[in-house]
Amino acid sequence: MAEAEATAGRLSLYSYWRSSCSHRARIALNLKGVDYEYKVVNLLKGEQSDPEFVKLNPMKFVPALVDGDSVIGDSYAIALYLEDKYPEPPLLPHDLQNKALNHQIASIVASGIQPLHNLTVLRFIDQKVGAGEGVLWTQQQIERGFTAIENLIQLKGCAGKYATGDEVQLADVFLAPQIYAAIERTKIDMSNYPTLARLHSEYMAHPAFVAALPGRQPDAPSPS
Amino acid sequence: MAASKPILYSAWISSCSFRVRIALNLKGVDYGYRAVTRTDLDYEKINPIKYVPALVDGDFVVSDSLAIILYLEDKYPQHPLLPQDLKKKAINLQIANIVCSSIQPLQCYAVIGLVDGKLGSDESLQIVRNYTDKGFKAIEKLLEGCDSKYATGDEVQLADVFLAPQIHAGVTRFQIDMSNYPLLERFYKAYMEIPAFQVAAPEKQPDAPASPY
């Protein structure tokens, strides 16, 4: 599955079309205007357990970014790596408080919502509680997290065109895939989260975000 | 306005709070400690998200341990927790995120599930051990061949700040056999000799009960 060394100087991203963590990395790469090679890891076929991939990321998660001899197997670490290596346009503001707010929103998604409904956890819930229970579980996790983020954004009064102002920032990179998946896959009722619903419309109109959508990826199934 | 010391809203047993306490101590930042319990309704006014820890710095409130620590990293540059080298910085962030996204939230789910009666005690422990083992094994692999004092060098860095509380919880509460993770076991022994870590330990906090475990 893993091919020979990437073309010199070109980054590779190991990704699955539907993985919201991979989706984050794709957005970040697009925002920074970084060309990359897309390497498919089919999670449903278990390709994350292929020995070559496990060598790259022992957690067996996508995404993984390969840049020369650097391998980074975590979307948060990837985003901050890209932020350092390709400073324009910046994803983090200089203002320490706004910067912290971006990290807080990103962390609610990355630690508080997504890990509680990823594939491995859903399989556990389906096994333990009952087949199909994973859907209800996912809804609950998302609703809890979205309530927290909606409240936080409203409390801070920070939203502009995007989550923390009029420029796309780190919070948006993490929010967009989570909101997209919530709407498309979990059919969350977004009327309880008016800011998040509005942000979704903004993301769906931004070229860097659109190009990163699951359905646009090389491994997305052809529309039926 | 006179600068006042930051206030940390924390719970003694919270490993997320433990991380921030370590970071504050390493940077030599004096702070006020406010204990929060799960049923604390007043806390919601400080932090509507209701999670601990939260840091109040003047009129600014920030929650989530990674966000707080990165804020401290900017505001108090002494004892930097992130290296300049991008590759080393990335591995620190990756390890921190394995802990804070792939181990701790599942541990939290298992513990709360037990407390709320949704999970049996064996089940709860099994979940904790399963996710701890997966994360710890992966970190051992990532750091294979490491011969430095701590995870990514001879100075304590972000990865260490996240690892110490996770290992401590594993050892004190969930009977994790650290001999399965020789690097982490070695690091943990080194961490617990550092005053900044010792003083931050759950059992040393003002709200720790007399018989903690």
The DSSP result for A133-148, as a single string, is HHHHHHHHHHHHHHHH
Q: Specify the number of domains making up chain B.
A: 2
Query: Going by C-beta distance under 8 Å and a sequence separation of 6 or more, which residues neighbour residue A171?
Result: A101, A102, A105, A106, A162, A163, A164
Q: Under an 8 Å CB criterion, which residues of A touch B? A: 57-59, 61, 69-70, 72-74, 76-78, 80-81, 84-85, 96-97, 99-101, 103-104, 106-108, 110-112, 114-116, 121, 124, 128, 148, 151-152, 155
B103 and B181, same domain (yes or no): yes
B167 and B114, same domain (yes or no): yes
Is B1 within the bounds of a domain? Answer: no
Supply the pTM of this predicted model.
0.95
B108 and B185, same domain (yes or no): yes
A162 forms beta bridges with A165
**How distant is the Cα of B198 from the closest Cα of chain A, in angstroms?**
26
pLDDT tens per residue across span A161-179: 999 999 999 999 999 999 9
Measured distance CA(A133)–CA(B89) in Å, rounded: 39
Confidence of residue B38 (pLDDT cuts 50, 70, 90): confident
B33 and B120, same domain (yes or no): no
Is B209 within the bounds of a domain? Answer: no
Confidence of residue A224 (pLDDT cuts 50, 70, 90): low
- Stronger pLDDT, A65 or B113, i.e. the higher one: A65
B193 and B146, same domain (yes or no): yes
Is B119 within the bounds of a domain? Answer: yes
Mutation for testing the A interface, residue in B70, B82, B114, B116 having most A CBs under 10 Å: B70
Range of the domain at B190: 86-197
Domains and CATH numbers, chain A: 12-88 (3.40.30.10), 96-212 (1.20.1050.10)
B113 and B57, same domain (yes or no): no
B20 and B102, same domain (yes or no): no
Q: Where are the strands (E) in B42-131, listed by range?
A: 54-57, 60-63
Domain endpoint, select from B53, B79, B105 = B79
How much is the pLDDT for A125?
A: 76
Cis link prior to B53 (omega < 30° from 0)? Answer: yes
Is B144 within the bounds of a domain? Answer: yes
Domain endpoint, select from B79, B109, B142 = B79
Is B158 within the bounds of a domain? Answer: yes
Domain endpoint, select from B47, B79, B111 = B79
What's the whole-number mean pLDDT along residues B23-47?
A: 92
Is B206 within the bounds of a domain? Answer: no
How much is the pLDDT for B1?
A: 44
Is B151 within the bounds of a domain? Answer: yes
B117 and B57, same domain (yes or no): no
Cβ separation of B89 and A155 shorter than 8 Å?
Answer: no
List the structure tokens of A48: 């994350």
B47 and B102, same domain (yes or no): no
ipTM beyond cut 0.90: yes
Is B204 within the bounds of a domain? Answer: no
By DSSP bridging, strand B32-35 and strand B54-57 are: unpaired
